[in-house]
Structure 1
Amino acid sequence: MKRHSRSESMGNVPENDIDKIEQSAAKGNAKIKRGKISLIKQYLVDYSANSNLHGLKYIGEKERTSVEKIFWLFMFTCCVILCAGLIRKVWLKWNESPVIVSFAENSTPVWQIPYPAVTVCFETKAQQTKFNFTKYYHLYNNASTVGNLTDEERNLFEDVSLVCDDHLAPAGGRKFSLGNDTVENLKQVLPNVTEVFLGCKWKDIPRDSCSDLFSPILTEEGLCYTFNTMGAEELFRTENLNTDYDYLEYSNRSQTWSLENGYPPNTPLETYPHRGTGYGAKAGLVFLLRAKQVDLDYLCRGPVQGFKILLHNPAELPRLSQQYFRSPLSQEVVVAVKPKMMTTSEGLKPYNPIGRQCYFPSERYLKYFKVYTQANCEMECLTKFTYARCGCVHFGMPHGPEMQVCNAGSVGCIKQAQMELVTVEIQSGLEKETNDNDTLGEARRVAAECKCLPACTSIEYEAETSQADYDWKAIFKAFNLPIDEEDKDLLYARVMIFFKEAQFITSRRSELYGQTDFLANCGGLLGLFMGFSILSVAEIIYFLTLRLFCLFWKRQQSKKRNVLKHNALSPTNGQLKDLHIY
């Protein structure tokens, strides 16, 4: 018998046999691919047959015709697309307008909120008997007489012009000044509290002195007097303010009220800030104002004389240059106050402030104010914007020690900055290039950081006013009381401020769609269109993870068993050698 080597036997294999081997290998690969496709198809059929989603089981059933399967596949796809579109609308509504403002279920009694802070400013900024502003205005603006004024007179005129109408401030005056000098000059010529207030009553109880109720406060209007405003240590961050002069007197009374939490439960009736205890004139504030005709100045503030009054939140610094009502001379003004309060539910805290359109106290830090309100934020923003634009600020604006105080020569810039701050966003969109003016670019950056949204808890006071003539001389004559010659020049004005009603309705910011509402809406749509539920999610996760893992594990076990079986049935090495022996 002739023995052939293994190499010879392999080398002499006919080409037809090689082609057959390659074809069989290709068929084997095709079978493997078909096996994988068949496995995936079987897996999908298994899911569709066992899924609880509507319509899927008809797609995977073998007894269904192709037309039926295409119909149910089309219907299922349409339901998925339509449901996705509706869920998107629900998502946009939840994301873009998550807040709804509604009325509270119960009314709020007025004793739960503070009585409004009342700030009074005299329209005459300089008493003519102390400093004749009209006289010095003509002397200052006359080229032949301006040289005769002393430095003290010129500086005093420029300081007083800061609180008069803007067009009266001399453009050629000082651009900057020392704030404490300006404030002291204004205090010298303005009437003090005893000269302005003749008598006061609080809750129908006369006070010996109005200085017990009203304290001086520095505003954009100059020196004014305020009632029921929080003390300087509670309102300002005094560590960041300039120390040249005080904006508000420090209070020696303990303050228990806060804007967010209100009065603590066990707070006594008499506290500070004062709270309302009822409604009507007997439960309010009454004060009598006076002025002498000889002291009236019709140039500084124009032909309308009397007093400006503003009702505001006790935690806000008043801005009487923006909003107020008048108390004319020889008139009695009756003010019926109606509070407006807005609260916010705790469920809105996780939302973005822009989405809910308000700030909680811990979300917004103010450099000069301890209490965040929209008015305080706007005041601080105006300070920073004016400083960036003009290099100085008005003395009535809270500012830091590094900021200079503007004087008469900068009044035009201050006025322009106030107007620009309102329209800065529009200007930014119209004027793309800001490199020509560095101060404008810096001011726009400051304005962009403002974003003074309302506080999530806010209180406003709406005033309904009525007035009538106040003829004090007729009263004196009726009671046969003598009138001194020096008193004939006096003019009086009486103001009565009280709550209109004992209770009011509070507005409340709350969730339009909470997480539960959003989930319920989405679940309702998914259940309506597809029969989808939480178990459907669990089912999908099961088929993508545990079921898939188990199938692969079974295949691996089957392969191992086949290999062992094949090895058991295959010939030994010796037997393989004998196969090459002819």
Structure 2
Amino acid sequence: MDDIETESRKSKIRCRDCELRKINASHEAESLAKAPDVVENEAYPEKPKRGRRSIIKDYLIDYTANSNLHGLKYIGEKERTCVEKVFWLFMFTCCVVLCAGLIRKVWIKWNESPVIVSFAEMPTPVWQIPYPAVTVCFETKAMQRKFNFTDYFHLYNNNRDNLSISDRNMFEDLTMVCDDHLAPPNGREFASGVDTVDNIKSVSPNLTEVFFGCKWKDIPSENCSELFSPILTEEGLCYTFNTLGPEEMFRLDNLHHDYPYLEHDKRAQSWSLEEGYAPGSPIETYPHRGAGFGIKAGLTFLLKAKNIDLDYLCRGPVQGFKILLHNPAELPRLSQQYFRSPLSQEVVVAVKPKMMTTSSGLKPYEPTRRQCYFPSERYLQYFKVYTQANCEMECLSNFTYTRCECVHFGMPYGPNMTVCNAGKRKCIKDAQMELVTIAIKTGLNSRDANETYSNNTAISDDDDSFRKALEVSTKCRCLPACTSIEYEAETSQADYDWAALFRAFRLNVSEELSDLSYSRVMVFFKEAQFITSRRSELYGQTDFLANCGGLLGLFMGFSILSVAEIVYFLTLRLCCLLWRRRSKQRRIDFAKRNSMPGPSPSKVIHPYSD
């Protein structure tokens, strides 16, 4: 029985092998009957190619499904209906538009007003800043005993040919410091600056004829020349206290060398406008620093004038003195701003400093955005220290020279420039008004200054001097200095009856003394401390990013990772996807090239496979 069963099993196996051989033979016959390309297609069937739009659509759906931005995933989900997709697309678009509008407002605010002016946290003591420079000018420009301006005015207008050349020149030179309408239009247009200044100084009262006595910090000075020194201004010869020396104020190499503006050799010791007094600098230094508040810590000086020397034609019916408090690094302009000290009056001046500083965080901003210049950002041709007043003085000098071909002797000017005289006085006045008008019209209209002003004036376009003057005015841009000091004066006055004091002491008043008029001026700090103003950033880069990020996060759930995600989908992921597709295609092409005609391995059934 065992042998019969064994034989039966062997016969079944032989039958099965025969069937397998028949099947393989039939497959071989089919493969031989088919073309080689058909065999290859069966071995590596190609998938139908998809369109570019379909690929982009799948890529966008992939992004919306994985993005962390609110609402996008609902747009890309296949289960969502069209109504739902349109709703979320509309909401997402509205959020983007609204967020963009709010960010635009933040940008405008940051771009146009990035600076905020606030008060400093701590008050500044007055000993940390210099005492104000005090400049005094006498209203009488020519002492009557030296040169009677009133008499020569009538002689000149009646018949100037009867006057000698020196008298005519003296009169015309003096009209440069008198009221504008007194200058003769037919007088000399140009003159030597040295001769004009020498003539004016020769008839002006000197220091001993103006000052009777001086006290600094309640200590009388033996001679007022120890405190005050001559200075040449647009008002003629004046006297100044606590002003920087010429080597520290001017660029002497760029100035003419005909005559000096300042006549003292005092030098600043460890002080600069930007840094202030250096740490460890002594109390007694130059420029003098404030030592406290009140009259005892201030400057007191007594001025005098002889009634016989007073002139009521040159500067009008008001007699006395003009006084200006200014920064020690500035050249004073008493023709523009001052307060008066009348004769026989006592004037008490309480000074309130105004100081503006700027944080170093504003240095990367453009000067037009922060509205100030740091010292290294603006170069002045004639001044070493940049202040707004010095810049305006230099600008006026260059503008006047361009319009009139000369300058006023009291302005700083270069060695190759000429000095104006009486015949050009009207041109000097008109140039000053033109400069102010151009600045106003340029500020009111965003167009170019040349176009703006030419359309509103009767000056022809072919006037070369006017076009050059416009070019000069556009280069002015006299913004304030980032560190500036100004001094506000609160004045009060009362009668100064010195003769009554003499009579009270039962002293005799001589005829010489009775002809004198005195004025006393007391200048002092009103308070021991003051509050400094400070420019600082209103919106820095961090604040701007924080505001934009808050708006984007509120409306869209946007963050820095969202930016990285967008960059990733547009660059790295896209590149990797394309690389994978090309790599797969290269493998398929390689397999096609190396495949031979014959049965496909996938079609062959192994006899012992399940």
TM-score (norm 2): 0.87
Mapping for residues 17-96 of structure 1, pairs under 5 Å: 32=49, 34-96=50-112
Structure 1 counterpart of 2:522: 496
* 2:213 alignment partner AA: G
- In structure 2, what is the Cα distance between the partners aligned to 1:342 and 1:331? 34
Q: Does 2:505 correspond to 1:479? A: yes
Q: 123-132 vs 243-252, which deviates more?
A: 243-252
CA contact (8 A) 2:438 2:453 kept: no
Tell me the secondary structure at the aligned position of residue 72 of structure 1: helix
Shift of 1:190: 0.4
- In structure 1, what is the Cα distance between the partners aligned to 2:414 and 2:47? 82
Tell me the secondary structure at the aligned position of residue 276 of structure 2: coil
Tell me the secondary structure at the aligned position of residue 330 of structure 2: coil
Structure 1 counterpart of 2:291: 277
Mapping for residues 16-415 of structure 1, pairs under 5 Å: 32=49, 34-143=50-159, 146-415=160-429
Q: Deviations over 1:299-337 (max 9, x none)?
A: 111110000000001111000000000000000000000
Shift of 1:38: 2.6
* 1:133 alignment partner AA: F
Q: Deviations over 1:219-262 (max 9, x none)?
A: 00000000001110000000000000000124244432111111
* 1:431 alignment partner AA: S
Q: Deviations over 1:377-431 (max 9, x none)?
A: 1100110111001000000000001110001111111111111111125384152
* 2:155 alignment partner AA: L
- In structure 2, what is the Cα distance between the partners aligned to 1:234 and 1:515? 38
Tell me the secondary structure at the aligned position of residue 85 of structure 2: helix
Q: Does 2:549 correspond to 1:526? A: no
Tell me the secondary structure at the aligned position of residue 141 of structure 1: helix
Q: Does 2:544 correspond to 1:515? A: no
- In structure 2, what is the Cα distance between the partners aligned to 1:254 and 1:317? 15
Shift of 1:367: 0.3
The partner residue of 2:574 within 544, 548, 561 is: 548
CA contact (8 A) 2:379 2:386 kept: yes
Bigger-Rg structure (1/2): 2
- In structure 1, what is the Cα distance between the partners aligned to 2:486 and 2:418? 33
CA contact (8 A) 1:434 1:441 kept: no
Structure 2 counterpart of 1:9: none
- In structure 2, what is the Cα distance between the partners aligned to 1:253 and 1:564? 90
Shift of 1:571: 2.8
CA contact (8 A) 2:268 2:287 kept: no
Shift of 1:434: 4.2
Q: Deviations over 1:517-536 (max 9, x none)?
A: 00000000010011011111
- In structure 2, what is the Cα distance between the partners aligned to 1:370 and 1:343? 19
- In structure 1, what is the Cα distance between the partners aligned to 2:586 and 2:527? 89
* 1:161 alignment partner AA: T
Structure 2 counterpart of 1:23: none
Structure 1 counterpart of 2:593: 567
* 1:518 alignment partner AA: F
Distance change in 2, residues 1:359/1:434 (3 Å): farther
* 1:386 alignment partner AA: T
Shift of 1:490: 0.5
Structure 1 counterpart of 2:431: 417
- In structure 2, what is the Cα distance between the partners aligned to 1:147 and 1:521? 78
Q: Does 2:565 correspond to 1:539? A: yes
CA contact (8 A) 1:127 1:295 kept: yes
- In structure 2, what is the Cα distance between the partners aligned to 1:254 and 1:431? 46
Mapping for residues 464-475 of structure 1, pairs under 5 Å: 464-475=490-501
* 1:471 alignment partner AA: D
Shift of 1:564: 2.7
Q: Which runs of 5+ in 2 are unaligned?
A: 1-44, 442-448, 599-610
Percent identity over paired residues: 74
- In structure 2, what is the Cα distance between the partners aligned to 1:30 and 1:497? 99
- In structure 1, what is the Cα distance between the partners aligned to 2:268 and 2:130? 15
Q: 340-349 vs 490-499, which deviates more?
A: 340-349
Q: CA-atom RMSD, angstroms?
A: 1.7
Q: 257-266 vs 112-121, which deviates more?
A: 257-266
CA contact (8 A) 2:297 2:524 kept: yes
Structure 1 counterpart of 2:473: 447
